[in-house]
C-alpha cells in the first residue's frame, strides 16, 4: 500500500510539472492559453492514465490481494509468469488469433475497399453497411448474438441441417470456439476498410491512365501501382490491428462467461490477466502480466516497424 501511495505522489507532481512548463514559456502570448484550456480534459485524462500506470508498475513487484496491503516480493511474479502453464496457453491462443484474424481481416477490408472504389452509385450506403459491424463487433450485445447464432440449435446449424450436416456446438467445442471469435473479428473489417477507401482515392489517376496506355492489365496495375501507393496505409492498419488483436478481451469474456473456455481454448491473454486480478485476487501478478503484455506488444510493433523497410513505399 505504501508503495503504491509513493507511486501516486511521485507521479502526480511529475504530470503537473510537465503541464506547467510549456505554459510558463508562452505566457507572453496571452492568446495561447486558450489552447491549454482546451487541453485541460486531456491533462485530466492523462492523470487517470499515468497514475494507474505507475501504480501497476509498482504492484507488479508485489503480492497484492486487493484486500490487504501489498507485500514486496521482487521479481517473483515475473519468474512465475515464465512457469505458468496457463500464461503459455493464453499466449498461444492470442497469437493464433492475431496471426489468423489480422491478415484475413485486412485482406477482406482491402478487397471490399477496392470493390467500393469503382465508382458505385450509392457508395455512402454501402460504406455504412460494411462499416457498421466494426462499430458493433466488440459490443457485448453482438457477441451475445454471435453466441446464439453459433449455438447447438443456432442459425448456422439449422442452415447446415438443410444439407444434412449435423453441426457441432461451435462455441462449446474446444476445437471450434476460437474460430468463431476469429470469424467475428474478420466480420468487423469496416474500420480499416474505410481507411483503405480513403487511401485508394488518394492514388493519382494519372498513373493508371499511363499504365492503361502501356497496356498493363488490371492485376498488373493493382500490383505495381495500387499496392505500393497504399502500402503506408496497409502498414498503419497492420500495426493498429496487431495491437488491437493482442489486447482482445470482450469477445472471449462474453462468449465464455469470463472463463476462457471451453477448456481454455479462448483464453486470451487479457482475459487471463483479468481472471488473475479480479477472480483470484492476485492483483500483483495481474499487474506483472499487464507489463509483460506491454513488452510483447512493443516488441511486435518494433518488428513491424523494422520489417516495413522492405515493403512499405513512401512516395516522397
Of residues 80-119, those binding another protein (CB under 8 A): 102, 105-106, 109
**Least distance between another protein and beta carbon 40 (Å):** 18
Nearer to another protein, 9 or 202 (CB): 9
User: Which position among 125, 174, 198, 217 is part of the footprint of another protein (CB under 8 A)?
Assistant: 174
Tell whether residue 147 is a contact of another protein (CB under 8 A): yes
Stretch that binds another protein, among 118-126, 169-177, 212-220, 302-310 (CB under 8 A): 169-177
User: Which position among 117, 250, 301, 304 is part of the footprint of another protein (CB under 8 A)?
Assistant: 250
Cα torsion through 281, 285, 286, 288, rounded to 10: 160
# residues near another protein by CB under 8 A: 84
Q: How deeply is 181 buried, as exposed, middle or buried, from its count of CB atoms within 10 A (0-12, 13-18, 19+)?
A: buried
Q: Is the dihedral angle over the CA atoms 21, 27, 33, 37 positive or is it negative?
A: positive
Tell whether residue 190 is a contact of another protein (CB under 8 A): yes
Nearer to another protein, 22 or 174 (CB): 174
User: Which position among 43, 222, 278, 311 is part of the footprint of another protein (CB under 8 A)?
Assistant: 278
Tell whether residue 304 is a contact of another protein (CB under 8 A): no
User: Which position among 90, 94, 226, 256 is part of the footprint of another protein (CB under 8 A)?
Assistant: 256
How does DSSP assign 151-193, residue by residue? Answer: STTSHHHHHHHHTT-----TTT-TTTHHHHHHHHHHHT-HHHH
Q: Indicate the pairing of strand 62-63 with strand 71-72.
A: antiparallel
User: Which position among 77, 179, 266, 287 is part of the footprint of another protein (CB under 8 A)?
Assistant: 287
Residue 275 CA to residue 224 CA, distance in Å, equals: 48
Provide the 3-class DSSP secondary structure of residue 63. Answer: strand
Within positions 35 to 54, which residues make up the interface with another protein, using CB under 8 A? Answer: 48-49, 51-53
Tell whether residue 192 is a contact of another protein (CB under 8 A): yes
User: Which position among 248, 269, 288, 291 is part of the footprint of another protein (CB under 8 A)?
Assistant: 248
Tell whether residue 158 is a contact of another protein (CB under 8 A): no
Tell whether residue 4 is a contact of another protein (CB under 8 A): yes
User: Which position among 197, 255, 288, 292 is part of the footprint of another protein (CB under 8 A)?
Assistant: 255
Tell whether residue 220 is a contact of another protein (CB under 8 A): no
Q: Which residues of 98-126 are buried (b: 16+ CB within 10 A; e: fewer)?
A: bebbbeebbebbbebbeebbeeeeeeeee
Tell whether residue 197 is a contact of another protein (CB under 8 A): no
Residues 6 or more apart whose CB falls under 8 angstroms from that of 303 comprise: none
Going by C-alpha positions, the residue among 245, 263, 292 that lies closest to residue 94 is: 245
Amino acid at each position: 500500500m505504501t508503495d503504491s501511495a509513493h507511486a501516486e505522489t511521485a507521479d502526480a507532481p511529475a504530470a503537473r510539472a510537465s503541464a506547467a512548463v510549456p505554459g510558463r514559456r508562452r505566457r507572453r502570448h496571452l492568446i495561447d492559453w486558450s489552447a491549454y484550456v482546451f487541453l485541460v480534459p486531456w491533462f485530466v485524462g492523462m492523470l487517470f492514465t499515468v497514475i494507474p500506470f505507475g501504480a501497476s508498475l509498482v504492484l507488479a513487484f508485489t503480492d497484492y490481494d486487493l484486500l490487504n496491503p501489498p507485500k514486496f516480493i521482487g521479481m517473483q511474479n515475473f519468474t512465475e509468469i515464465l512457469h505458468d502453464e496457463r500464461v503459455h496457453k493464453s499466449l498461444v491462443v492470442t497469437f493464433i488469433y492475431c496471426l489468423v484474424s489480422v491478415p484475413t481481416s485486412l485482406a477482406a477490408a482491402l478487397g471490399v475497399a477496392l470493390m467500393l472504389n469503382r465508382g458505385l452509385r450509392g457508395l455512402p450506403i454501402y460504406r455504412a453497411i460494411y462499416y457498421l459491424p466494426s462499430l458493433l463487433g466488440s459490443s457485448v450485445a453482438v457477441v451475445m448474438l454471435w453466441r446464439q447464432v453459433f449455438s447447438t440449435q443456432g442459425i448456422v446449424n439449422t442452415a447446415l441441417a438443410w444439407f444434412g450436416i449435423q453441426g457441432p456446438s461451435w462455441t462449446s467445442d474446444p476445437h471450434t470456439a476460437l474460430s468463431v471469435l476469429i470469424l467475428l473479428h474478420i466480420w468487423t473489417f469496416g474500420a480499416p476498410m474505410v481507411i483503405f477507401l480513403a487511401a485508394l482515392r488518394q492514388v493519382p489517376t494519372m498513373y493508371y491512365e499511363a499504365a492503361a496506355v502501356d497496356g498493363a492489365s488490371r492485376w498488373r496495375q493493382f500490383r505495381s501501382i495500387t499496392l505500393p501507393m497504399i502500402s503506408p496505409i496497409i502498414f498503419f492498419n497492420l500495426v493498429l490491428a496487431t495491437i488491437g488483436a493482442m489486447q482482445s478481451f470482450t469477445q472471449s469474456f462474453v462468449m465464455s462467461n469470463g472463463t476462457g473456455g471451453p477448456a481454455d481454448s479462448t483464453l486470451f491473454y487479457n482475459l487471463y490477466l483479468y481472471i488473475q486480478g479480479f477472480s483470484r485476487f492476485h492483483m500483483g501478478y495481474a499487474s506483472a502480466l499487464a507489463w509483460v503484455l506491454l513488452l510483447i506488444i512493443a516488441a511486435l510493433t518494433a518488428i513491424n516497424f523494422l520489417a516495413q523497410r522492405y515493403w512499405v513505399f513512401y512516395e516522397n
